[in-house]
Structure 1
Amino acid sequence: MPALPEHDFEDRLCQVFHETGESFVPDTPRLAMGGATRGRRRQRRRLALGAAAAVLAVSGLGAAVLPSALHTNGTGPAASPVPSPPVSDPPDAARIPQEAHLASAVAERLPKGLKIVRSDGSTQGSAAFPTNRAWAELVLDDGQGQSLLSVGVFNPHRGAIQPCDQSPFTELECRQTPQPDGGTVAVMQYTGKDANPSRFTAVEWVTADGMTITATSHNVARRGGTPDRPEPLLSAAALSSLATDPSWRTIASQLLAVMPDSTSTNASVQRPDLLPPGLKVVSSTAGAEQTATLADGDRTVVLRLQEEAADRSVLDWFADAPTLPDDTRIRSVANRPVPATQGSTETVVDVLRPDGRRVRVTAVNPAGAGSPDAGRAPLLTLDQLTAIARCPGWTVPAPD
């Protein structure tokens, strides 16, 4: 078989390993987003936080989900202290509560002493959008060069697969080991054919019921980039320890098997004027979750836009939210640190439009340890994100 270009190889590999099984009917309900009566909502939030603390303490995921004031463990990589930026703290009904970041959960499970240079990933929480996967990407540095780490979590309803049996690539060395529970752990290693080749090592844990965790360490700092070090930073043994952590099942159980249709009924609207002048669109993607990486020459911001039709739980979640003159309801949080990431922050605006469409716009400052931007607010402000969220049909611009 002829060798694929390296920039196509990993995309194809992911496609082979992570078929989502669209014939499956999802039987995992979306995360509960409330539904209590307005009079009981605040009390239930307090009770839920206490219950979550108890459950997550058992599962080991508490540090990734609970507010930073409740973090008590000392695990995770060491880093220079980063000053915490100011965090908006409007009344409960207006504020988006703390959510679980997969990047935080991964960071808590890394070997000590690593710097997190950059991070981004998906979130889960009482009002997070439904999704069929959780993901995180972190750029790590051990002093010998930077290395991209990517982690993906898929729920048990997608159907079990055998990674090595399905790989059509001659460039990939794949070893698969049966596990006592009936699942498998596959260790995959890839080396490109260039004089200074790209390499990655991946470990995939597939349980007997189909829960799948992948952890991949690269010798490049960004996808498609040139190697920054001879070998991936994390060894197969370190990746195996990360991928087979049993606490990932808590996250996997909350994922859908198939993504719901969230197509907007509005025509696409190109309104680049809603982005501040001087921001260049470095990359962008379309789909259920639009994303764009924007840069002003010195700093970078990751912009995400999600949209769905509001169901009853969404309506309840917005019931007490502030209402704008056009009847748009809005909840937000500005400049909030992403726990354990050594500097990443986020600003989020979530609106319920009068037409019943819900739109969430997130801006992430991905900068971490060693960056002068660590701990700073994202490049896009709360007002700018609000303008985007309130613009029906707004789409992420194409790369410049």
Structure 2
Amino acid sequence: MPAEHHESRHDVDAGLFEDRLGLALRQAGDSFEADRSGLVAAGEVRGRRLLLRRRAAVVGGVAAVALVGVGGTLLVPWGGAADGQQSVAGRRSTPTPPAENDGRVSGAKLVHTLKKLLPQGEFSEEQGRGTGAELGPYAQVVFDDGKGPGAVSVSLNRVEPGSEEARQWTQCPDRNLMSYDRCTSSRLSDNSTLMLFQGYEYPDRRVDTKRWTADLVTPQGHHISVSEWNAAAEKDAPVSRANPPLSTDQLKQVVIAKAWRTAIDAIPKNPKGQESQGQDPNAPAPEETPNTPPGTSGATISQTLASLLPKNVDVVSKGGQETEYAYLVVDDGKGKSFLQINVQPDMSDVEHQLFGADAETLPDGTKVATSQGPGEQGAEGVVMWTVDTIRTNGLRVVISAFNTGRQHDPATRETPALTMEQLREIATSEKWQQLG
């Protein structure tokens, strides 16, 4: 739907709506028509972007490639052990790996550190990547305390202190956009920020795999993510216990360990250890690209959307992302209805993928595609009505309405608060062109 999260919102991601990525994924697998609802529900991508970015950093540590898929799913090739380490051993029999001669920390050492921080138990499927690896350091084990195996992983990276990225890693996701059990974000005595999250591998809970995480960002820019599951792998493994093996307090103790900060300090500024080929050392430094993504701000989109609502519809709550995505929860007197919209510039390059021969073309050249179908998987009785448009200048406006106040909750009314005709009027309004 919009495409976690978990998220996100933001990417992994995960970029704005991820149309281009979604299209690539579909070309490699499902047909476009089989998953059009995932594409046109642009808010799903944007609405879960923050959480997806968090998860990508965690899961991306164990994969050569981490992609955001349609519906907020992370697609990760789960590889074998890095640094040549894979064993089945109890904690007490684990030898300390030798230190790296160049000051870097090996994947084996990171695995050893993780095992030392976990309670007594048995370990298997150990994987690690050191601080000199281009893809970034991480460690992962399958841990069994006698109550069933559960995967536990840690990934490490740097973030700019005080940046939006740093803030997003420790910001609990919007409950209107993602279903989870519990999340807290707090400031520690050393001014680090800690987020403790208890949710699910799939936000729509199509399976019962739980994902609990701890994210820590320090004032110096260390970012540590610890994740655990109640299964031996994050995906494609049967649930092996009721909950992941560590309590939230135990997760906290693992994530705040000083050894992770020392390892992050050992990450080379240039992981490849060499200058770019063909670069003139005397050339002026390239201009920095702004960290803010292009597009209209989410606040402006929200205000514009509210101004286009029918007079009998009241706004109950609202939210969105930095740019291009916003949502409103509205009520027409018959119950809450979730309404989301993406406003995306420069989408002409994927127009032929998004709008088929059956799309309507208006006199001004705007193309319009509509769909009415089931909402998010696992949300009982939920329907999603969508109007997708693209102007001749490449501006895409796609709006969806649901018959529930939260798209992942069961239906609370028979139909959305807005009709298809009203959605069409909003999506084709000239006000979107005027936002510039």
TM-score (norm 2): 0.39
TM-score (norm 1): 0.42
Larger RCO (CA under 8 A, 6+ residues apart) = 1
